[in-house]
Amino acid sequence: MDAPTAFLAALAITAAGGAVTTRTIRLRAKRAAADFQRDGEAYRRTQDRRRETYVEFSMTAGRIADAVALWADMPAAARPGVLDEARAHLQELRTRHAAVLLDSSPAVREAAAAVVANSERLVDGLDLDADPAPELLTLALSERQSLPFLRACREYREAESAPYFGVAVRRAPRLSTR
C-alpha cells in the first residue's frame, strides 16, 4: 500500500471512529438525562426525609432545653412530672440521634453527638429539690445549642444538592440565623 492510500484509509477509519464516538456520547447523554429525572424524584424524597429527621431531632433537644430553663420557676409539685417528661424527651432524642447517624455526613454526626451530650448534661443536672446550676441554665437558655447541628445539616444538604442544581445553590440567599 502506498502512502496516499494508507493516509486515506487512516483518515476514513478515524472519521468513522469519531462518528461512532459522537453517537455514543449523545446516546449516553440522553440516558443520563432520563436517569437524572428519575433520580431527581428520589433525591427530593431523600432530602425531605433528611430535613424531617433533622428538624425533629432539633425540636426534641429544644424541648429538653425549655424544661431546664423553666425549672427554677416551676412549683415543687410539678417538678417530678417535668423530670419524667425531660427523661422521655432524652430517650426520644437518642432514638432520633440513631436516625441522624444512619444518613448524614461526619460533620452532622459530630454536631448531633454534641447536642445529645449537652441534653444529657441538662437532664442529669436536674434535681427535684434544687434549681439548676448556673452553667446548665446558661446552656439551656442559649439558643445556640442546636445551631452548629443545623449549620452542619445545611452544609451537608447543599453539598448533596450541588450535582442536581449546580453552583447556584451556594449563591442562593439564606435566611439569617440571628
Report which of 81, 161, 90, 85 is spatially closest to residue 119, judged by C-alpha positions: 90
d(CA 138, CA 58): 18
pTM (2 d.p.)? 0.66
User: Which residues, other chains included, contact 40 with Cβ-Cβ below 8 Å and sequence gap of 6+?
Assistant: 164
**DSSP-assigned letter for residue 2:** -
Report which of 60, 87, 68, 53 is spatially closest to residue 146, judged by C-alpha positions: 60
Query: Using 50, 70 and 90 to split pLDDT, how confident is the model at 141?
Result: low
Q: So what's the pLDDT on residue 16?
A: 73
pLDDT in tens, 65-121: 888 888 888 888 888 998 999 999 999 999 999 999 888 888 999 999 999 998 898
Is a pLDDT exceeding 80 seen at residue 12? Answer: no
Is a pLDDT exceeding 70 seen at residue 55? Answer: yes
- Mean pLDDT score of the chain, rounded to an integer? 79
Q: 127 forms bridges with which residues in the sheet?
A: 130
The neighbour count for residue 124, using CB atoms within 10 Å, is: 12
Grid cell, residue 28, equals: 449516553
- For 30-74, give the DSSP string: HHHHHHHHHHHHHHHHHHHHHHHHHHHHHHHHHHHHHHHHHGGGS
Task: Please report, to the nearest 10 degrees, the dihedral formed by the alpha carbons of residues 144, 56, 39, 156 taken in order.
Answer: 20
At what angle are helices 134-141 and 3-70 packed, to 10 degrees? 130
The alpha carbon of 60 is separated from its chain's Cα centroid by a whole number of angstroms, namely 16
